[in-house]
Structure 1
């Protein structure tokens, strides 16, 4: 064997291997992994879910039923033959009615096989499965259900024990962390109102559907008089008649009682655990995307940003695996929710800095595969990260570390929040602050698989690397504790999740 001094450096070997991989896959055909590719189905399939701080229900809002709703409607245009010839008479056929949407804890379901739990948390799970059964589209061997709208209230009452701590039920919450709460009842569910999908026609007589949900967390609000100083959210959908895509228009406004609110459009797995949950739910992803082999396409137009604390996610990807690399199995003590979020609000700064390594991942992986440790101050791309935090149940964290909020998920969680940077631009992500922000609407094709394969996620030493299979892909904003009356407004269209044609990733053996 010759002298190793003539060998190429490891970084060059990794680069060549990476280049070879991409060349081998450059001609590979990608197909859609979701039930509504590019949002072009003429029929409406939309679900809505609302959560308290720890992704549970806690208590239902007065006269609202369980905070799970759906608008599932088919556009039916049969040909009518009369003396004047053939014409199309269009109708809307609703799959979900008002009595379905108003079901609350303890109510019997109209169909057998669904349990009428009196516990609001358990009933919401069952109601989502029931609504999914009504909305199910059986256009292949892999049925799908709906796009999901997620609302979340960031208030947290530390005087209650509604939320576990890293999955552990506790008799009393003792923490130095500060959370907004105006007093008893601050973790309430919202008032939700529904404009059921109806027929609309354009100037050229093209017929399509349009509808929406709207509401407030302020339970004493009268929205017939306008939003006023109350919190407010709205989600509406209509067709872009030139492209055929749905346009989802969304708005979110904070109030003095509700300064921390979240609103996302989610593409979730059709079965198994979705990001942040510990039970089976329903969605639209039929083939689970796995790093490094998947892409996401979407068009985003941000109209209003939501203020300086609006963590607007161009994309938020969520999954779940244990610290030893095993898939999650519903055990909240050992399962860990993993999130990666690209924040595009240019007001969001990098908490990861040479003088604040606690908010940085232990190392960064370059596009060529080289590990750069966070204490290598001349080389680590600090400005590529907003923050990193470790799972609260990890046993071998590397000093220094910060633990992710232990209450806002039903189990421990790990967060990698990234910012526009040239490090990510190689995968189609924003390169600099302001890219894709207000006044700069764009259609993005994001190589999410390649980027997510580079990110640091905690794992116990000596264990087999986890499969990074992602069950939730979200777009929207988290308006973190903000002044009353800040508003974010945006539209999403053309959403698609693309995987290589040969991918057969299913739920068997993973969830």
Structure 2
């Protein structure tokens, strides 16, 4: 599944009950610069049907033709793509299957513009049925079994050609799910369902917002690989640079002060984000240990123990409730160019993308 998003909701504000009293949340300044009426719209999309290609991009040295298809488009509804893509938004995805090897290669490109400075493009594996990454619509993905923490891995080959600028939150892996604050599975009740995400950002220009002087965007504690906890006010031991930010669901009743609520941009229902950065803490699971690994001019094939890492992460849950099953209905790779001040281009290829689940895993 190819996922396109135009992030353009307003900031949520308000009060959150905590231990029976009202406290004011700390909201980081995340607002969408809407240019006026029509700034939230579906894009123009053009489709080239998949068909055999004698001279496909990755098969020119092969005697056998591959198959290739694509789509492309823009959010600027008055744009003419025949005139080029200067000063307009643009996206494209080209997929090719090599006849000689059976490999699928997905070539992707995303461009922001002044009107559309916050765009997202992902290649995503979704559940065959049920909610897609926590969104409340039935999905049509290819994962027959839902991966569950800690027992699954993800393998892929990633080649980043253009990074998308300093605000490109390029996700080596982004995983999404949905469960309620009391640990129960989501059932479509939007007041109590909470979408949860874990995202590894590999753009080396993205810095850690989680710092000793900004604890509101740090998770309340970090879980070491041995299972021990390090609280965020332990400045000598907490790995602040391992996190870009953490934000809590707006319907949580027992948040630890200070806290930051997730803004409802791509999902107006409550959601929770844990955004990670390359760090030695995550390297034990196959993730990059240092900034720049796997970035431009450093294509790599990754085998990531996503299940093990995701089982270590803090997610909010009401005190005294049974731990939620961490079943992940969406796994993707791609970028979210977050409110860029100028036109940016991100370009990358993904191939050999597999979600590896043990054979004895139980289907939901």
Q: What TM-score do you get using the length of structure 1 for normalisation? A: 0.66
SS in 2 for 1:500: coil
- Contact 1:233–1:253 under 8 Å retained in 2: yes
Q: What TM-score do you get using the length of structure 2 for normalisation? A: 0.92
SS in 2 for 1:279: strand
SS in 2 for 1:444: strand
Task: State yes or no: 1:413 paired with 2:271.
Answer: yes
- Contact 1:254–1:483 under 8 Å retained in 2: no
- Contact 1:157–1:187 under 8 Å retained in 2: no
SS in 1 for 2:190: coil
Task: State yes or no: 1:187 paired with 2:53.
Answer: no
Please report how far the alpha carbon of residue 186 of structure 1 lies from its aligned counterpart in structure 2 after TM superposition: 0.5
Task: State yes or no: 1:200 paired with 2:53.
Answer: yes
SS in 1 for 2:311: helix
Q: Which runs of 5+ in 2 are unaligned?
A: 16-26, 55-59
- Contact 2:8–2:265 under 8 Å retained in 1: no
Give the distance between the partners of 2:30 and 2:288, measured in 1 at CA: 32
Give the distance between the partners of 1:203 and 1:441, measured in 2 at CA: 21
Give the distance between the partners of 1:365 and 1:233, measured in 2 at CA: 38
Q: In the alignment, which of 312, 321, 325 is matched to residue 183 of structure 2?
A: 325
User: 1:312 corresponds to which residue?
Assistant: 170
Give the distance between the partners of 1:496 and 1:480, measured in 2 at CA: 27
- Contact 1:332–1:410 under 8 Å retained in 2: no
Task: State yes or no: 1:438 paired with 2:296.
Answer: yes
SS in 2 for 1:477: strand
Give the distance between the partners of 1:309 and 1:243, measured in 2 at CA: 36
Please report how far the alpha carbon of residue 349 of structure 1 lies from its aligned counterpart in structure 2 after TM superposition: 0.3
Q: In 2 relative to 1, CA 192–248 (structure 1 residues): closer, same or farther, beyond 3 Å?
A: same
Give the distance between the partners of 1:471 and 1:177, measured in 2 at CA: 27
Count of residue pairs the alignment pairs up: 347
User: 1:87 corresponds to which residue?
Assistant: none
Please report how far the alpha carbon of residue 177 of structure 1 lies from its aligned counterpart in structure 2 after TM superposition: 5.5
Q: How does 1:212-291 map to 2 (within 5 A)?
A: 212-240=70-98, 243-291=101-149
Q: How does 1:99-138 map to 2 (within 5 A)?
A: none
Greater fraction of residues in strand: 2
Please report how far the alpha carbon of residue 407 of structure 1 lies from its aligned counterpart in structure 2 after TM superposition: 4.4
Q: How does 1:28-39 map to 2 (within 5 A)?
A: none
Give the distance between the partners of 1:349 and 1:241, measured in 2 at CA: 42
Please report the RMSD computed on the Cα atoms of aligned residues, expressed in angstroms. 1.9
Q: In the alignment, which of 194, 197, 207 is matched to residue 349 of structure 1?
A: 207
- Contact 2:202–2:291 under 8 Å retained in 1: yes
Give the distance between the partners of 2:360 and 2:178, measured in 1 at CA: 24
Please report how far the alpha carbon of residue 242 of structure 1 lies from its aligned counterpart in structure 2 after TM superposition: 5.7
Give the distance between the partners of 1:420 and 1:240, measured in 2 at CA: 32
Over residues 412-453 of structure 1, what are the superposed CA-to-partner deviations in whole Å (9 max), with x where a residue is unaligned? 000000000000000000000000000000000000000000
Q: Which runs of 5+ in 1 are unaligned?
A: 1-147, 167-174, 507-511
Over residues 89-124 of structure 1, what are the superposed CA-to-partner deviations in whole Å (9 max), with x where a residue is unaligned? xxxxxxxxxxxxxxxxxxxxxxxxxxxxxxxxxxxx
User: 1:361 corresponds to which residue?
Assistant: 219
User: 2:159 corresponds to which residue?
Assistant: 301
User: 2:23 corresponds to which residue?
Assistant: none
Give the distance between the partners of 1:437 and 1:446, measured in 2 at CA: 16
Over residues 264-309 of structure 1, what are the superposed CA-to-partner deviations in whole Å (9 max), with x where a residue is unaligned? 0110000001114112111011110000000000000000000000
Q: In 2 relative to 1, CA 376–151 (structure 1 residues): closer, same or farther, beyond 3 Å?
A: same
- Contact 1:278–1:410 under 8 Å retained in 2: no
Q: In 2 relative to 1, CA 417–204 (structure 1 residues): closer, same or farther, beyond 3 Å?
A: closer
Greater fraction of residues in helix: 1
Q: How does 1:486-501 map to 2 (within 5 A)?
A: 486-501=344-359
Please report how far the alpha carbon of residue 234 of structure 1 lies from its aligned counterpart in structure 2 after TM superposition: 0.3
Task: State yes or no: 1:470 paired with 2:328.
Answer: yes
- Contact 1:156–1:186 under 8 Å retained in 2: no
